[in-house]
A and B are shown apart, each in its own frame.
Chain A
Amino acid sequence: MERRLLEIRDLKVDLMTQRGIVYALQGVNMDICEGEIHGLVGESGCGKSMTSKAILHLLDRRRSRVSGSVLLEGRELIGLSEREMRKVRGNLISIVFQDPMISLNPLMTVGDQIAESYTNHQGDSRKAALAKAFDMLELVGIHPADRRMKQYPFELSGGLQQRVMIAMAAACRPKLLIADEPTTSLDVTIQAQILELFKELRRELKMSILMITHNFGIVAEICDRVSVMYAGRVIETASSRGIFDRTAHPYSRALIASIPKARHYCEYLPVIPGSPPRQFEREIGCSFRPRCPYRDASCDRAQALSKVGEGHMSACTRAFDRG
């Protein structure tokens, strides 16, 4: 087994909302190994982005309660002060969001924005930072870099803007790059380019990438391993081959089945009945059981991730056992 970079244990997030407490994360368990691209998939509201925000302490402290453990190379991140977290963000872990147009500062040139990563996180002089920003632009495939440095975000297409975001996030060579739906707002042709870029960066900078996506195609395309989330928990972790070939959890199975597939013609797509829970209550048993065709009385009890194969964990083995 490769070395673990990030170990998440029983990560819980409670959000205080106007309608009451939402138990957004109900005990997330996940490992990210060194140098791997790890997919985190699930549908809206399942807690994918919440997990990344909790890792980076990006949640409003007054309206959220975070507990559990997040170890980065053995060092606990939960409970770190804001001062200490600042040294982690950007330097050790960084993030790329879905929509570059809202994440980039419209009033700063591309060069200055990337250079800021170096002046802020590594204490470089402006001149040195700009030189590094130039190299970074070349690395993420923005040409000609000298001209692009002086441009503002609105002068770039969506694909190029996302490359700038990635350049900023990768600038300080973090150990872990979190990419939260980085290609969702892009065209497929541009998405293909950006996915190639992630592969290249992993090779060049030897970093791990947590790829948050709702698209199983992206998992098949670039991920080494994948964790599937449902209602605030990871319910299955497998290699990206394993998730397609030996899908264990009934939810993962149903989700993969509902995707239209290329060159595969059928009149109706299999659907999952019902909708996900709203998480106003803490769930002890399996959250998927009201929608699950395999449910039985034992589903009311807590369902821990258990090993179902080499590097393959699932919170449920009922579908597996019954073939």
Chain B
Amino acid sequence: MRDFIVRAEGLKKHYPLSGEGGRKKLHALDGVSLTIQQGEILGIVGESGCGKSTLGRCLLRLTDITAGKVYFDGADITDHDRRALKNIRRNMQMIFQNPYSSFDPKYKLGTSLREVGKVNDIKEEVLEERIKRLMEYINLPGDMLDRRPSELSGGQLQRLAIARALLLEPRFIVADEPVSALDVSVQAQILNLLTDLRKEFNMTMLFISHEMTVVEHLCDRVAVMYLGRIVETAPTRKLFSGLLHPYTRALIRSVPRSHPDEECERIILSGEIPSAIDLPKGCRFAKRCPRATALCFESEPELTEIEDGHYVACFEQ
């Protein structure tokens, strides 16, 4: 099992809700198991509220876990306290969606970057050397470090956010919608940068996105989440050509076509994304599923391997 940088087993994160005597809970994550290998980019897709971001936060232990286990580099970090976490955190970093809110607006960017090194006791010469090298990588002039966030464009700032995440040479990065706020031409630059960086640093990454084409472009493997659970996971090409779970199918077929003449058998899901508070009995997707049978409303299908590396949670398979 040494190959796995990150492993989660039966991960649950429930948020108690105020009111109703505290008996109701929001099931943000409800039993997620996954592994991420060294050098792999795992994409997580799903609609808002499916638990994508909570999953990222749990893997980094930015939040406490209700049940299940998280392993990082072979060690169980589920119950690590703050001090123990500090030591492993330098090996795990995060990139957020909005770069303007992930930098202190009053700090010069150089200060924000150097702070990371200081907190983690990195020697100044080493730190400066790394910053210099990273600035070359992200293709920004060094004098950008003397500016403040408001003076940069979203794309430039997101590149700096990536540089900051790489400053400690982490072994694992969670990128939560890192290109969603950017224009397509800037998005292309950032995606190319990530491709470069993964080659250079053999980076391992959890890439959270709601944009299917972006995930398809960048990721090695994709996990589709629905209401706190993984419903399908497979190597990217297999997932996009196989499309076994009815939810994956609907999700992919909701993406606007890339040409007016493209044949596209649209599947429009009726209804809204159900709430993670009152979970339905049986398969969580049954209510919106065009193929649901009586069985689907009775019991919940398990994630089962149907082909090498391809797992689906659906009775039809």
* A259 near B272: Cβ-Cβ < 8 Å: no
Interface, chain A (partner B; CB < 8 A): 43-44, 157-160, 187-193, 195-196, 214-218, 220-221, 240-241, 244, 254-255, 258-263, 265-272, 275
> Interface residues of B toward A: which range?
35 or more
Cβ contact within 8 Å between B192 and A259: no
Can you list 10 A-B pairs with a CB-CB distance of less than 8 A?
Answer: A43-B183, A160-B272, A189-B251, A193-B268, A193-B269, A217-B257, A217-B258, A220-B256, A262-B212, A263-B240
Interface: B144 (CB within 8 A)? no
Q: Which of B20-28, B259-267, B309-317 contacts A (4 or more CB under 8 A)?
A: B259-267
Is A271 a contact of B213 with CB atoms below 8 Å? no
Contact of A221 among B186, B256, B273 (CB under 8 A): B256
B239-266 contacts to A, CB under 8 A, are 240-241, 250-252, 254-262, 266
Q: Which residues of B contact A255 (CB under 8 A)?
A: 184-185
Contact B216 A262 (CB under 8 A): yes
Cross-chain contact A157 with B258 (CB below 8 angstroms): no
> Contact at B183–A271, with CB atoms within 8 Å?
no
Cβ of B259: which chain A residues have Cβ within 8 Å of it?
Answer: 220, 241, 244
B210 in the interface (beta carbon within 8 A)? yes
- Give A313 to B266 CA distance when docked, in angstroms: 31
Q: Check if B111 is an interface residue, CB within 8 A of chain A.
A: no
Q: Is B195 an interface residue (CB 8 A)?
A: yes
One digit per residue, 1 when the CB lies within 8 angstroms of any chain A CB and 0 when it does not, for chain B 168-210 equals: 0000000000000001111111011001000000000000001
Known: A187-B47, A215-B256, A260-B191. 10 other contacts (CB 8 A): A43-B186, A160-B272, A188-B47, A191-B254, A193-B269, A214-B183, A217-B257, A241-B260, A259-B184, A260-B216
Query: Is the CB of B145 closer than 8 A to any CB of chain A?
Result: no
Residues of B within 8 A of A240 (CB): 260
Q: What is the bound-complex CA distance between A191 and B250, given in angstroms?
A: 12
- Chain A nearest CB from B224 CB (Å) reads 12
Closest to A188 in B: B254
**Which of B213, B237, B250, B266 is the most central at the interface, judged by chain A CB atoms within 10 Å of its CB?**
B213
The 8 closest A-B pairs by CB, nearest first: A217-B256, A260-B217, A258-B188, A269-B188, A43-B183, A221-B256, A192-B254, A187-B47
B185 pairs with A196, CB closer than 8 A: no
Task: Tell me the B265-304 residues at the A interface (CB within 8 Å).
Answer: 266, 268-270, 272-273
Given that A216-B258, A221-B257 are contacting pairs, would A43 and B250 also be in contact in the complex, using a CB cutoff of 8 Å?
Answer: no
The distance in angstroms between the C-alpha atoms of A270 and B184, with both chains bound, is: 11
Residue contact A157 to B184, C-beta cutoff 8 Å: no
Partner of A270, one of B188, B195, B241, B258: B188
Considering the chains assembled together, what is the distance between the CA atoms of A323 and B153 in angstroms? 34
Q: Are B192 and A217 in contact (CB under 8 A)?
A: no
Contacting pair A44 B183 (CB below 8 A): yes
Interface residues of B in 197-239 (CB under 8 A from A): 210-214, 216-217, 237
Report the Cα distance A196→B253, complex, angstroms: 14
Q: Are B258 and A271 in contact (CB under 8 A)?
A: no
**With known contacts A187-B273, A269-B191, A275–B153 Cβ distance under 8 A:** yes
**Interface residue from B47, B187, B241, B258 paired with A189 (Cβ < 8 Å):** B47
CA distance A254 to B262 in the complex (A): 21
Are A188 and B185 in contact, CB atoms less than 8 angstroms apart?
A: no
Give A250 Cβ to nearest chain B Cβ, in Å.
Answer: 13
CA–CA, A44 to B182, complex, Å?
9
Shortest Cβ gap from A85 to chain B (Å)? 32
Query: CB within 8 A of B192: which of A159, A189, A218, A269?
Result: A269
Chain A residues in 8 Å Cβ range of B270 = 193
Which of B154, B185, B255, B268 makes the CB contact (< 8 A) with A262? Answer: B255
